[in-house]
Structure 1
Amino acid sequence: MPLWKRLLRLVALLILTPVFFLLGCQSRLIYFPNSYRAEYESQLRSAKGERVRFTTSQGAQTAFYIPPRTTAGGLPQTVWLCFAGNGSLALDWLAWTDDWDPNFAYLLVDYPSYGECAGKPSPGTIRESGKAAAEALAAHLHTPMTELQPHLAVLGHSLGSAAALMTAEELDVHRGVLLSPFTTMTDMGRIVLGWPLCHLNLHRFDNHKTLRHAAARPGARFVIFHGAEDEVIPMRMGQELAAAHPQTVTFHPVSGGHHNDLLNLISPQIGRAMEEVTREVKK
C-alpha cells in the first residue's frame, strides 16, 4: 500500500476514533446516576415524606412528596418541583428544605436510572418524568391537575435547572429559582471538548429556549443564583440567561461560590427568593 494511503488511513482513524467514542459513550459522560443508601429512608420519614409512584416510557418511577411543616388544610401554598444536580439525588434536597418557608411543599423528582427510577436519562425522558411526576402528585393529593397547577413552582440546580425549565414549559409554570444553570449542553461541550466536537452533542438541553417560553408567560418571575467561582458551569452562562429577560429574571452572583457548595453557602437567600417569587406571582 502506498505511503500516502497509509497516512490517510491513520489520519481518518485519528479523526473518527474520538467521534465514535463520543457518540457511543456520551450518556456516560453526561449523567452520573446514584442509588439510595439506607440513611435516606430515615430522612424521608423524619420529613413525613411519601413516595409518589408513576410510570413513563422508561418504566417505574418514584418521586417524593414532602408536605408543608404547617398544619394548614387544603392544597399547599406552593409546591416546589425540585430537580437536583447531575451527581445528586432528589432526596438530597432534604438537607435544605427545613431552612425554607414551612408553608411550602416539595415534590423531589429523580431522573430515569437515578434513585428508584428505571430507564435511561435523556432530555426527552427527563422532560417526560417531570410532567408525569406532577400529574402523579395531583392524583396522590386527590385533586385535579388544573387545580394543582397554579400552586406549582420549579427549583433546579445545574442539570436540574434544565429539567426544571422543561417541566415548567410542559406544565405552564411561570415561577422558579435556578441555581448554576448552563445555556445549552452544546455550549458546555464547547468548553469541555472544543469545536467542532461540541456539535456531536446528542443531548440537546437548551435553557435559552425553555426559559424564553417560561419567561414570556403573564406574571412570570424567575431568580438565578450563580457562583462567581463556579469551576463547572461559568457564571457568564447564568448572566447570559438572565440578561435575555431583564423584566422577568433577576440574577444574583455569589461571591466565592463554586458549583457544588452553592446551596450550603446561600440556603437562606434561596429561601427568601422562593418567598419573593411566590408573592410577586400572586399579586
Structure 2
Amino acid sequence: MPLCKRLLRLVAIAILTPVIFLLGCQSKLIYYPNPYRAEHETMLRDAKGARVRFTTSQGAQTAFYIPPRVTTPGLPQTIWLCFCGNGSLALDWLHFTDDWDDHFAYLLVDYPSYGDCAGKPTPGRIRESGKAAFAALAQHLGSTQQELQPRTAVLGHSLGCAAALMAADDLNLRRGVLVSPFTSMTDMGRIVLGWPLCYLNLHRFDNRQTLRHVTSRPSARFVIFHGAEDEVIPVRMGRELAAVQPRVVTFHEVPGAHHNDILSLMMDRIGRAMREVVAQVEP
C-alpha cells in the first residue's frame, strides 16, 4: 500500500476512534446512577414520606412525596419539585429539607436508572419523568395538575437544574431556585472535550433556551446560586444564565463554594430564597 494511503488510514483511525468512543459511551460519561441504601429507607420513614409510583416509556418509576411538617387542612401551601445533581439521589434532598420552611411539601424526583427507577436517562426521558411524576402527585393528593400548578415551584442542583427547568417549561411553573447550573451540555462538552468534539453531544440539554422561555411568563421569578470555586461547572455559566432575564433572575455568587459543598454551605440561604421566591419577595 502506498505510503500516502497508509498515512490517510492512520489519520482516519485517529479521528474516528474518539468519535466512535464518544458516541457509544456518552451516557456513561454523563450519568452516574446509584441504587438506594437502607439508610434512605430510614430517612424516608422519619420524614413521613410516601412513594409515588408511576410508569413511563422506561418502565416503573418511583418519586417521593414529603408532606409539610406543619399540617394544615387541604393542599400544601407550596410544593417543591426537587431534582438532584448527577451521582446523587432524590432522597439525598432530605438532608436539607428539615432545615427549610415547615410549610413546604416536596416531590423528590429521580431519573430513569437512578434509585428505584427503570430505564436509561436521556433529556427526553428525564423530561417525561418530570411530567409523569407531577401527574402522579396530583392523583396521590386527590387533586388535579391545574390545582397544584400555582402552588408548585422547582429546585435543582447541577444536572437537576436542567430537569427542573424542563419540568417548569412543561408544567407552566414560574418560580424556582437553581444551584450550580450549566448553560448547555454542548458548552460543558467544549470545556471537557474541546472543539469540535463537543458537537458530538447527543444529550442536548439547553438551560439557556429553556430558562429564557420559562422566565418570559408573567410573574416568573428565579434565583441562581453558584460557587465561585466550582470546579465542575464554571461560575460564569451561572452568571450567563442570570443575564438571560436579569429583571426576573437573581444571581448569587458564593465565595469559597465548590460544586458539591455549596448545598451545605448555603443551606439556610437557599431555604430563605425558596420562601422569598414563592412569596414574590425580592431576595
Deviations along 1:209-254, one digit per CA (max 9) or x if unpaired, are 1101110010000000000000000000000000121110000000
2:76 is the counterpart of 1:92:
no
Q: CA offsets, 1:182-207, max 9 Å, x none?
A: 00000000000000000000000000
Partner of 1:50: 50
**Corresponding residue number in structure 2 for 1:202:** 202
C-alpha distance in structure 1 between counterparts of 2:270 and 2:124, whole Å:
28
Q: For the residues of structure 2 that align with 1:144 and 1:272, how far apart are their CA atoms?
A: 28
Q: How far off its partner does 1:145 sit?
A: 1.2
Counterpart residue identity of residue 189, structure 2: G
1:126 match: 126
- Mapping for residues 168-247 of structure 1, pairs under 5 Å: 168-247=168-247
Match of 2:83 in 1: 83
**SS of structure 2 residue aligned to 1:81:** strand
Q: 2:254 corresponds to which residue?
A: 254
Cα root mean square deviation, aligned: 0.6
Distance 1:163 1:177 in 2: 12
Q: What is the one-letter code of the residue matched to 2:97?
A: T
CA distance in 2, matches of 1:71, 1:15: 61
Tell me the TM-score normalized by structure 2.
0.99
Work out the CA distance in 1 between the residues paired with 2:57 and 2:164.
19
Provide the residue aligned with 1:31 in structure 2: 31
Q: Is 1:155 paired with 2:155?
A: yes
Distance, in Å, in 2 between the alignment partners of 1:249 and 1:192 is 27
Q: Does 1:6 align with 2:34?
A: no
Per the alignment, residue 275 of structure 2 pairs with: 275
Structure-2 separation of matches of 1:220 and 1:257: 27
CA distance in 1, matches of 2:46, 2:73: 20
Tell me the CA shift for residue 100 of structure 1: 0.4
Amino acid at match of 1:127: R
Equivalent residue letter for 1:81: L
Amino acid at match of 1:21: F
Aligned to 1:63: 63
- Letter matched to residue 210 of structure 2: T
Distance 1:246 1:71 in 2: 36
SS in 2 for 1:213: helix
Distance in 1 separating the partners of 2:107 and 2:209: 24
Check whether the contact 2:77–2:103 (CA below 8 A) recurs between aligned residues: yes
Aligned-partner SS, 2:266: helix
Deviations 1:110-153 (A, max 9, x none): 00000000001000000000011001000000001111111110
What amino acid sits opposite 1:74 in the alignment?
A: G
* Cα deviation digits, residues 242-281 of structure 1 (max 9, x gap): 0121110000000000001011100000000000001018
Separation (CA, whole Å) in 2 of partners of 1:187 and 1:135 = 32
4+ residue segments displaced more than 3 Å: none
Q: What is the aligned partner in structure 1 of residue 114 from structure 2?
A: 114
TM-score by length of 1: 0.99
Alignment-mate amino acid for residue 65 of structure 2:
Y
**How far is the alpha carbon of 1:71 from its aligned partner?**
1.6
Deviations 1:42-96 (A, max 9, x none): 1000000000000000000000000000021111111000000000000000000
Report if aligned partners of 2:211, 2:244 keep a CA contact under 8 Å in 1: no
Letter in 2 for 1:80: W
Taking the aligned partners of 1:93 and 1:187, their CA distance within structure 2 comes to: 27
Whole-Å separation in 2 of the counterparts to 1:10 and 1:55 = 48
Counterpart Cα distance in 1 of 2:71 and 2:232: 40
Residues in 1 aligned to 2:143 and 2:163: alpha-carbon distance in whole angstroms: 24
Looking at structure 2, the residues matched to 135 and 63 of structure 1 have their Cα atoms a distance apart, in angstroms, of: 11
Classify the secondary structure of the residue corresponding to 1:156.
strand
Give the 3-state SS of the residue equivalent to 1:246 in structure 2. coil
Q: Distance in 1 between matches of 2:202 and 2:252?
A: 31
Q: May I ask how many residue pairs the two structures share in their alignment?
A: 281
